[in-house]
Chain A
Amino acid sequence: MEWEVIFKWLPKFYQGALLTLELVGIAVVLGLILAVPLGIARASKLWYVRSLPYAYIFFFRGTPLLVQLFLVYYGLAQFDAIRDSFMWPYLRNPFWCATATMTLHTTAYIAEILRGAIQAIPPGEIEAARALGMSRAKAMFYIILPRAARIGLPAYSNEVILMLKASSLASTVTLLELTGMTRTIIARNYLTVDMFFTAGVFYLVISFLLVQAFKQVERWMRVDACQGR
């Protein structure tokens, strides 16, 4: 291990890690917001409400993120209508393409988590809410969603870690996040193993910190108190 060289390049790695965090942060927060209506619709008993979210989730979970990324970043340029539209400055930018694709991708996964959580709520609790005279919307906001949030939280934290790792794909559309930065550094100093090792340590540290943070959130939301009965 060439520790001196590693130390010399640390600021660059740090810069890459920041971009990685930015990508993941935007994707998982926006994804969560978008996933709530999608997950609720997916858990619906009506087939015509359920089918569109189902198709969306099926497509985004059944194809690799890399394909989706290329479809958005390289693919959309095929259409003149998009090239002439006001969206083009954004869709030409790899950062916005990567965040948009990752958001759409993770939305599908989070929606599926949410559906599982909603369906895992004991039906008696929802019936109790309805029996107390709560409207459907009220039961959804005060009973179903808070309950589903606690059931789904551990799976959501898994998804965030998966997105952290998936963000390395953004390097294939020329973004200099942690992996992209590492490859640029390797092109400069040819220390392949050492540099990938450093990047790996960065990813490990980030995922460790995220896991600890989610443990805190679970404690704060008192997830374990809702388990058992």
Chain B
Amino acid sequence: MNIDLYGFGPALAAGALMTVKLALCALCLGLVLGLLGALAKTSPYKPLQWLGGAYSTLVRGVPELLWVLLMYYGTVTLMSALGEAFGNPELALTPFAAGVIALGLCFGAYATEVFRGAILAIPKGHREAGVALGMSKVRIFTRLIMPQMWRIALPGLGNLFMILMKDTALVSVISLEEIMRQAQNAVLFSKLPFTFYLVAAFMYLGLTVLAMTGMHFLEKRAARGFVRTT
């Protein structure tokens, strides 16, 4: 079967690149937010626990699309006020920045729960051993908890990344030129909606398969100390 893309192939490829960029940037932001959220939720301080809980509950209870719209249209006044203070009144979030913040925020909220579960899954004795050895709190976290946490958190994070990858399609609503938007442009020109949306669907499927393969290798690597070879 030969699919005629009416010369929109390169545009769609550029869109795929944009989708990947968006997903990776949002992933970075989300991982940081998720770690902070999980640390807050597992900390012994009540206000911090409350803050972490509020973050994950509030963000998870509101649709991703609403966050994307809010980040893009809702920050206009705020950003221009901020720009005014620094002598640049045209300051505004680009669709890309708004998308990264919105998707990162959502990813972080779910990742908070994944990381929290992973932290709680590490035997208490490991932390106590660190304390007994005279390690500082920060060092216990970076040297003992973190390296073990990744292995447990990885499958959950992989699922979240797959969800994130699909949520990037939402950013087309605020006119970022990713796969979905490029497909829409192509449809406007060619009047072949089914063809182009199907192509877009298969591009997302391809990305999902790629991400799944990547996760498989990461999980294998993370579990390399836990496999019995006999």
Q: A residues near B, CB below 8 A? A: 58-59, 62-68, 70-71, 74-79, 164-169, 171-172, 179, 182-183, 186, 192-193, 196, 199-200, 203-204, 207-208
Contacts and interface: CB of A to CB of B under 8 A. Distances in A.
B105 to A, nearest CB: 12
Nearest to B73: A192
A55 B76 CA distance: 43
A75 B186 CA distance: 13
Interface in B75-134: 76-77
B69 A196 contact: yes
A148 to B, nearest CB: 21
Contact of B197 (A65, A75, A166, A169): A75
Contact of A192 (B58, B76, B168, B183): B76
B177 interface: no
Q: Is the interface of B mostly helix, strand, loop or mixed?
A: helix
A114 to B, nearest CB: 18
B101 to A, nearest CB: 14
Residue with the greatest number of chain B CB neighbours at <10 A, chosen from A168, A171, A182, A203: A168
Q: Which 8 A-B pairs have the closest CB atoms?
A: A75-B194, A64-B169, A168-B63, A165-B63, A74-B193, A64-B166, A78-B194, A62-B208
Contacts of A66: 169-170, 172, 180
A179 B63 contact: yes
Q: Which of B64, B73, B194 has the most CB of A within 10 A?
A: B194
A63 B205 contact: yes
B7 interface: no
Q: Interface on chain A toward B: helix, strand, loop, or mixed SS?
A: helix
A200 B63 CA distance: 8
Interface residues of B, number: 37
Interface of B: 58, 61-66, 69-70, 73-74, 76-77, 166-170, 172-173, 180, 183-184, 187, 191-195, 197-198, 200-201, 204-205, 208-209
Nearest to A69: B197
Contacts of A200: 58, 61-62, 66, 70
Given A59-B205, A64-B166, 11 more contacts: A62-B208, A63-B201, A64-B170, A66-B172, A67-B197, A179-B66, A193-B70, A193-B77, A196-B66, A200-B70, A204-B61
Contacts of B74: 192-193, 196
A220 B64 CA distance: 32
A168 B66 contact: yes
A64 B172 CA distance: 12
